[in-house]
Structure 1
Amino acid sequence: MPLDAQVVSDIYRDHGDALRRFVLRVANDRDEADDVVQETVLKVWKTAPELTGSLRSYLFATARNVIIDRHRRAAARISATALGAQDPEGPGVPVGMEAVLDRILMEEALLRLTLEHRQVVIHMHYLGSTVAQTASSLGIPQGTVKSRAYYAMRALRGILAEMGVEQ
């Protein structure tokens, strides 16, 4: 199948920056990140006719898989004693790699929320604040905190689905 330069160019233009930001969080350097983004775009391009759903979610899921595959290949070249503990999900995946990637996806998703929604989510779900504590800290009524929490979680679910995170 010949490479359709325009399709690949469109994918890079529309999604390249977001993918690069995601990959740079775990890549050793910019060149490695660019390689992962390129591999991701090409893999997605090859399956484009079969895609159903959001292209962006498929891109993020594919990038996540490319990163894990690269770590597995690198780990295969290193002796098991040098690597240390292994993830039960598969050989060659360092313990915590899946958690790190999930955390990065969540941080990217949080950045796409409005500031007001992000503040409420961080206070209530990361800092463990109650509605009253969040309201006091942000200087807004408790009803506003509840409303923002509801709409923030709804938006967050949509963003995560778009990024390919199964809930």
Structure 2
Amino acid sequence: MTGRRARRSSGDEALIRSLYNEHGRAVLAYATRLTGDVAIAEDVLQETLIRAWRHPDVLTNGRGSVRGWLLTVTRNIVTDRARARSSRPAEVAESPGLAATGDHAQGVVDMITVLEALEQLSVEHREVLVQIYLQGRTVAEAAEELSVPPGTVKSRSHYALQALRRILGERGERTASRTGVMG
């Protein structure tokens, strides 16, 4: 380090130390009042002193009060931080109770499989399952919609579910034998 740079460095360090000793408490108190948080206020004080270190000429030119300049810089830093926080979405803490949701691809595959299996059922069986399970209707409502007695809806849904289970079971066995996975 050259002699001149070393003298400047020690002079800057002395300037910052004297600023901190003379004005640090006042700046910290002001920043704490503006932010309502001592930890944030300490960060603001540090940033204020860094700006003073970068612009020592402002402090030594004899115009205005040094404390006034430091307090103005402190207010500007707090204002800048508030504006920065309001310009981006609020951060949300991660909730430990919520697990990350997985890929929904398996759900899509399952839905396609069930829809293909439904296509293999007779029209009467498919209509009953659609009314009861997909439309959410009661047996009486499905009977009225399909113009059949409620007992017919019950028996058709029973046999339709048996057929659907058989079709899906066969499909699963074919898939397992193709992939080499046996359950």
Q: Tell me the TM-score range normalised by the shorter chain.
A: 0.3 to 0.5
TM-score, length of structure 1 as denominator length: 0.43
Larger Rg: 2
